[in-house]
Structure 1
Amino acid sequence: MPSQITRQITRQITRHVLTIPARGPKPARKVHYRRCGSGPALLMVHQSPRSSAEYAELMREWGAHFTCIAPDTPGFGQSDPLPGNPEIGDFADAIMEFADALGIAPCPAYGFHSGGIILVTAIKRRPQAFRCLAVGGYAIWTPEEMRIFGESYLPEFVPQPYGEHLAWIWNRILEQSWVFPWFDTREEARLPIAHADVAQVAQTVSEMLDAGEHYRAGYGAVLRAPRDIPPAGEDVPPCLISAYGGDPLQAHIDRLGEMPASWSARKVATPKEHQDTSLAFLQEHVGDAPCGALPEDADEGWLHLDDGLIHWKGKRGGRLQLHAPARELADPGEGALAIDVPGHGQSSDFADMRAAVKAAADALGAQGIDWPAPPPGDPEALYPDMTPDRFGLYLQRAWQTARAEAFFEPWYEANATHAVPLSPEAIATPAVHARSLARVRAGDAARRWHDTLAQIQGET
């Protein structure tokens, strides 16, 4: 479900990675988070199966009042999953481990849908870690609803050899605004907020593809979560739960039952009213201590250049390794560096790709750059259009292209002359899946990167 409205706000969002150390049987895990704004820290937890990217516009707006900090929850976005079969308490503990690692507790927090459920469990377990909590919809499922969800809501996500899973994921996300649950085609399940917003669907599809099969763990944990609202007489930080018209969880406001005296719930008309009400509540209860520098890993991060962000990994001062068009960074060799080149992977796009790479190399202290040669073939044919469309056909173009690459070079020359030896590793479905996602993320930047490499090659 949508949790924000679009606004033209330009505050810079930065991105970071922080490794939570191993604790007992818990392995070390990486957490990716976004930061924006200034002032007191505000912890923001996204819904499933999204990532912190869903809060980008809201962070730019609320960044006028807070230092907005939004992690990808475990298994979503660019964060590592939790081991085993985690439940809601494990996700709540994971969020608190992250807040502790940053040193921002006690702080206010905001969560929408799944994010709110995680935070309610967290505030019940560790009330001293919060100043207040604003929640967008809190689910109280009936036994019959749970039965329906259990049967169909979380099917396995297993990439198929011919890309059938991509047709499913497009329609599953698209139709989630038409009916709820997404698979329920009864007239009674219709939603009043139906849309065919290609950009919104494509963004959610991208985030769900990032999560892959891990979406079932995080989504399942919140669906199975019991009503975890603290008892009526308990002394806990204040909380506001609100839900707007058209949100399936607005009806759940009537199911909340007794709550602590400092907790309240209300129905509002629109997403904007929900956000404005939440912001006013958070401002009322927040402290005034500013948020300072936050810790992050030394071997991975995002460079903040004038026009955007460049994702990098490796050892600063090493030689910079660049990948081919429509690909993404691989873990660099010992002592080396790698980046997602502009417009690819987790890097922003840049008008001047060559200048951006050189700026990244300078910022990382790279001892030289390994420029790859452009792949053979006609650039007009090598990079089919990856613009999202109403029917999700761009996903199939990416898949068919990635699969053909295992048979021919260039991929579009399907004949014996251009056949390449068949490699089990290259034709394996997970490998095709990874290449197709890299193409989708690169979009038209792949062709421009090809042209940049061809120009560099012509100069040497």
Structure 2
Amino acid sequence: MPSQQHAITRHVLTLPEQDGKRARKVHYRRCGQGPALLMVHQSPRSSAEYVELMREWGAHFTCIAPDTPGFGQSDPLPGEPGIDDFADAILEFADALGIAPCAAYGFHSGGIILVTAIKRRPQAFRCLAVGGYAIWTAEEMRIFGESYLPEFVPQPYGEHLAWIWNRILEQSWVFPWFDTREEARMSIAHADVEQVARTVSEMLDAGEHYRAGYGAVLRAPRDIPAADADVPPCLISAYDGDPLQAHIDRLGEMPASWSAKKVTTPKEHQDASLAFLKEHGGDAPCNDLPEDANEGWLALDGGLVHWKGTRGAQHLALPAPARELEEPGEGELAIDLPGHGQSDDFEDMRGALRDVMAHLDLAEMKLPGLPQGEPEGLYPDMAPDRFGLYLQRAWQVARAEAFFSPWYEANAAHAVPLRPETIATPAVHARALARIRAGSAARRWHDTLTAIQGET
């Protein structure tokens, strides 16, 4: 475990309805102490991509990384938002936290959102560090517009999951991901299963909303502030293997306080960015940050547990294994089981449950009904594999659950009534995602809950 000082905490803040804009929920991560540093992720990722960097930079800054609208656990923007809308959303979030003016860091599309925000309101920032800034040609924009953002529509038999796996895997092989010419090969090709699985999960979280955020960035005007603009200082850097490194040569004339350079490695980019941010980020301490009172993450020894409800409630509602948190009832709090949904996994699951009860001062647990069947059959292996087969496995289980109980007994004796609401593709998709997120934790929680029920 990292030191408590540099531990990641997670929060939700609902921005109220204002100026005709509807209220929207923003999920953000926080780490460290010192002046505020606003960190904006690339598409189609979430603030989770900055976890390790936040732990390192938290020695110098209070790192604050929101999920941009429509990604991670943040609500999307309505309609067909453009880059100005995403920039304004970041500014609204910074205002709600009370951190402006602050230092900021963005990688790829995160940098484009922040540069747009600086052009719209430069006084909201002290400085900006950017990892790779895209300056597309008209022809590149045409190619991206035609092929880069296909619709995300879950299919009845899970075909979309095969596409997502290969799209994320192969985007380190060629760029753009659909260009299979030899000239499009990249030097950073990999088949890192863990890395691909993380990004796949984040893209599944975004769903069809990935097109809005990604599309706004791709359609954004490729201009930086004019040479005579009065803007905070900025450093743009890109490392060998980054497809945007060549774009350093396309930046043209920049404001006097702006600079750009090519570096060799990702670490060199991060070190240069940190040094720049420390030089220009100021030293004003970051105050306590606001968050919603009816949802959050409980920090325990071993990780974070996601909860919803009203603090002061007496009852804890638990979902079944391989299911996710539902809206709690009157006088209840509900959690994602450890290892499920938005809760971290724990080695001592029963101990984690005891800690939740103690920290939230709860009197009783509302235990879920466990699914019928043997655990060995109910919870097949969901470990990510080189070919993404775990995604299809989750889909096939989720679909079979609408036909049989237990799902693996595909025969007339175990048939259940077919209901439109359970066999509909969105419902199958939701159950499959719950299994993908839970992984091996589902089986361990089944055993834990069985033992608890046996004692009551």
Task: Tell me if both proteins adopt one fold, taking TM over 0.5 as the criterion.
Answer: yes
Equivalents in 2 of 1:154, 1:335: separation in Å?
Answer: 44
Cα distance in 2 for partners of 1:63, 1:457 equals: 42
Normalization by structure 1: what TM-score? 0.97
Q: Residue in 2 aligned with 1:228? A: 223
1:160 corresponds to which residue?
155
The 2-side partners of 1:456 and 1:66 are apart by 43
Matching residue of 1:328: 324
Q: Alpha-carbon deviation of 1:9?
A: 5.8
What does the per-residue CA deviation read over 1:339-390, in whole Å, with 9 as the maximum and x for residues that have no partner?
A: 0011100001112222212221222233411012322111011101010000
Q: Which moved more, 1:355-364 or 1:267-276?
A: 355-364
Residue number in structure 1 paired with 2:356: 360
Query: Which of the numbers 302, 305, 313 marks the counterpart of 1:307?
Result: 302
With structure 2 as the length reference, what TM-score do the two structures score?
0.98
CA deviation vs aligned residue, 1:390-420 (integer Å, no higher than 9, x gap): 0000000000000000000000000000000
2:51 equivalent in structure 1:
56
Residue-by-residue CA offset, 1:23-71 (whole Å, 9 max, x unaligned): 1221000000000111111000000000000000000000111110000
Q: Are the aligned partners of 1:9 and 1:61 in contact in 2 as well (CA < 8 Å)?
A: no
C-alpha distance in 2 between matches for 1:346 and 1:28? 22
Distance 1:80 1:390 in 2: 32
Percentage identity across aligned positions?
A: 82
Q: Match of 1:205?
A: 200
Question: Distance in 1 between the 2:248 and 2:16 partners?
Answer: 38
For the Cα contact (< 8 Å) 1:373–1:454, is it kept in 2?
Answer: no
Which consecutive unaligned segments of at least 5 residues does structure 1 have?
1-7
- Distance between the aligned counterparts of 1:232 and 1:394, measured in 2? 51
Counterparts of 2:8 and 2:41 in 1: how far apart (Å)?
Answer: 16
> Counterpart in 2 of 1:14?
9
User: Once the 2 structures are TM-superposed, how far is the Cα of residue 214 of structure 1 from its aligned partner?
Assistant: 0.1
The AA in structure 2 aligned to 1:151 is E
**2:137 pairs with 133, 136, 142, which one?**
142
Q: Distance in 1 between matches of 2:19 and 2:127?
A: 31
Match of 2:273 in 1: 278
- Paired with 1:407 and 1:63, the residues of 2 have a C-alpha distance of 50
Give yes or no for the alignment of 1:415 onto 2:411.
yes
Choose from 336, 343, 355 the match for 2:339.
Answer: 343
Summarize the Cα distance change of 1:78–1:188 in structure 2 as closer, same or farther, 3 Å threshold: same
Q: Which residue is equivalent to 2:436?
A: 440
| Matched letter for residue 272 of structure 1 | K
CA distance in 1, matches of 2:98, 2:223: 25
Specify the code of the residue in structure 2 equivalent to 1:383.
Y
Q: Any unmatched runs of 5+ in structure 2?
A: none
- Name the aligned partner's letter for residue 228 of structure 1: D
Higher alpha-carbon deviation: 26-35 or 450-459? 450-459
Match of 2:245 among 218, 242, 250: 250
Which secondary structure state, in structure 1, belongs to the residue aligned with residue 236 of structure 2? strand
Which residue identity does 1:194 align to in structure 2? A
Secondary structure of the structure 2 residue equivalent to 1:214:
helix
Is 1:88 the counterpart of 2:50? The answer is no
Return the alpha-carbon distance in structure 1 between the equivalents of residues 29 and 382 of structure 2.
26
SS at match of 2:288: coil
User: Counterpart in 2 of 1:428?
Assistant: 424
The residue aligned with 2:178 is 183
Q: Report the Cα distance in structure 2 between the residues aligned to 1:391 and 1:200, rounded to whole angstroms.
A: 13
**How far did 1:423 drift?**
0.9
- Cα deviation per residue 1:242-298 (whole Å; 9 max; x = unaligned)? 000100100110111111000000011110000000000001111111112100000
Instruction: Identify the residue that residue 376 of structure 2 maps to in structure 1.
Output: 380
Quick check: 1:17–1:30 contact (8 Å CA) kept in 2?
yes
1:218 is displaced (CA, Å) by 0.1
CA distance in 2, matches of 1:337, 1:24: 33
Matched, 1:399 2:395: yes
Aligned to 1:173, which of 149, 155, 168? 168
Q: Which amino acid aligns with 1:208?
A: M
The 1-side partners of 2:77 and 2:404 are apart by 39
Taking the aligned partners of 2:202 and 2:297, their CA distance within structure 1 comes to: 19
Q: Is the CA contact 1:121–1:228 (under 8 Å) kept in the aligned structure 2?
A: no
Native 8 Å contact 1:104 1:291 kept in 2: yes
